[in-house]
Amino acid sequence: MSGMDFAPTMKGVCEDVEENPYQRLARIFTPGAAEGGLCLGTVASWPDQDHPTRPHRVIAGGTSQEREDLLSSPGLLPYGLAAGDQVVLLPIEENQRYIILCKAVSV
């Protein structure tokens, strides 16, 4: 099969933006996104085994978010994060609270 024979079967791969999860994610993950858009935050403080009473604190949107302002996926609790980690956040309640979706790492 030549490349010319294959090309017609690729029709629509990126044409339907609503069905392409990567393009949908790119639209959501834009700087200054409104509520419902994703943003990056930085862990300022997080409990660990040596310091279990250390506060939960994430810097998001230029503000410090404390434990009462954060929700998290269970896999990040109790010691899944550390100070300096970047996290993907979903702002809720008019950007007053954030859901920590996952840790973001460099590749």
At 38, list the tokens.
Answer: 């994703």
Residues 57, 69 contacting (CB under 8 angstroms): no
Region 4-26: what's the mean pLDDT? 49
Helices (H), the chain: 3-6, 21-28
Distance of CA 51 to the CA centre of its chain: 26
Which 8-state DSSP code applies to residue 79?
A: T
| pTM above threshold 0.85 | no
pLDDT in tens, 17-55: 455 666 666 666 555 555 457 889 999 999 999 999 999
